[in-house]
Amino acid sequence: MSHNINSLKQQFLEYIEIEKGRAVKTVENYDHYLSRFIEQSKIKQASDISETVIREFRLWLNRQVTGNNRATGNTLKKKTQNYYMTGLRVSELCSLTRDIDIRADEFSIRGKGDKVRVVFLSENAKKIIKKYLDKRTDAEDALFIKMDGKENKGPDSGLTRRSIERIVKQCAVKAGISKKVTPHVIRHCFATDLLSNGADLRSVQMLLGHANISTTQIYTHITDNELKRVHQKFHGKKNQE
């Protein structure tokens, strides 16, 4: 099979149209985003794609002024930028098995790049997982399985990415959240919550499993905005007492 990036792109587009039944417009959008990535990054084959290449492409996207934005000088909206970026770490959740010791405060997981890192459990998380497992009557290895009222057997019983995305969406609706919520949004909230409460960037990098701290730095913009707000609110104000 050819490893030429354009050939692989074409195979992917045909796959999502024929095998996955995606709409023609969806396929066209994927074609546009992938083509722009290939053109800008100058990659020739799949092995050329690295974390550095992705990071540089994200920086490039963040600095683009196009279309109607030319008059205002505004760059691409974050939502538009995110359309170009196709990976989720929800795969780590899908890979969990029942052999983790929920009595402990931590467990190891093999994540992106086949690297092992430690994941910590809160007391509340441990209680909820135990309650969930106590209700399970099956002998499946997967920690989380599809609960559709039918007996689940075999490797297809475990939750998939799509299943988890659907669950998160349904829970967000029940909670009255109008904005789009995805597993990655929850991961993002985890990172910004740590940073907002004083965690150092290196620790957050380790908890997220990022190979390069530059990847973690994309989460700092929210805390930077908070620092700006504090600065504007308190700096240079005369004592009114």
Indicate if 95 and 75 belong to the same structural domain.
no
Cα(80)–Cα(100) distance, integer angstroms = 38
Q: Which one from 112, 117, 146, 188 is the annotated catalytic residue?
A: 112
Mean pLDDT of 125-134: 88
Specify the 3-state DSSP secondary structure of 115: coil
Look at the chain and report how many structural domains it folds into.
Answer: 3
In a domain, 173, yes or no: no
Q: Which one from 89, 117, 169, 188 is the annotated catalytic residue?
A: 89
Ranges 10-19, 100-109, 161-170, 226-235: which has the least confidence: 226-235
In this predicted model, what pLDDT tens digit does every residue of 191-204 receive, in sequence order? 888 887 778 888 88
Mean pLDDT of 178-195: 83
Which among 145, 33, 165, 151 is positioned nearest to 98, based on CA atoms? 145
Specify the 3-state DSSP secondary structure of 167: helix
Cα(36)–Cα(152) distance, integer angstroms = 42
Asked if 119 contacts 109 with a C-beta cutoff of 8 angstroms, the reply is: yes
In this predicted model, what pLDDT tens digit does every residue of 38-80 receive, in sequence order? 888 888 887 887 778 877 877 777 776 554 444 455 565 655 5
In a domain, 168, yes or no: no
Query: What is the pLDDT, as a whole number, of residue 80?
Result: 56
Determine if the pTM surpasses 0.75: no
In a domain, 70, yes or no: yes
Query: What is the pLDDT, as a whole number, of residue 110?
Result: 76
240 pLDDT above the threshold of 70:
no
Asked if 98 contacts 142 with a C-beta cutoff of 8 angstroms, the reply is: yes
Indicate if 39 and 96 belong to the same structural domain.
no
Q: Answer yes or no: 184 catalytic.
A: yes
Residue found under tokens 């597993």: 183
Q: Answer yes or no: 32 catalytic.
A: no
In this predicted model, what pLDDT tens digit does every residue of 82-125 receive, in sequence order? 544 463 367 778 888 888 787 777 777 777 767 777 777 788 88
DSSP 208: H
Q: Answer yes or no: 58 catalytic.
A: no
Indicate if 133 and 68 belong to the same structural domain.
no
Query: What is the pLDDT, as a whole number, of residue 156?
Result: 56
> In this structure, what CATH number is given to the domain that contains residue 119?
1.10.443.10
Tell me the average pLDDT of the chain: 76
Structural domain ending residue among the three candidates 23, 56, 83: 83
226 pLDDT above the threshold of 80:
no
> Which of the pair, 76 or 23, is modelled with greater confidence?
23
Indicate if 54 and 122 belong to the same structural domain.
no
Q: What share of the chain in percent tops pLDDT 90?
A: 2
Domain containing 134: what range? 88-158
Structural domain ending residue among the three candidates 58, 83, 108: 83
Specify the 3-state DSSP secondary structure of 97: strand
Q: What share of the chain in percent tops pLDDT 70?
A: 76
Query: What is the pLDDT, as a whole number, of residue 224?
Result: 64
Which among 208, 88, 95 is positioned nearest to 144, based on CA atoms? 95
Query: What is the pLDDT, as a whole number, of residue 85?
Result: 46
Indicate if 42 and 65 belong to the same structural domain.
yes
Query: What is the pLDDT, as a whole number, of residue 151?
Result: 46
Q: Answer yes or no: 112 catalytic.
A: yes
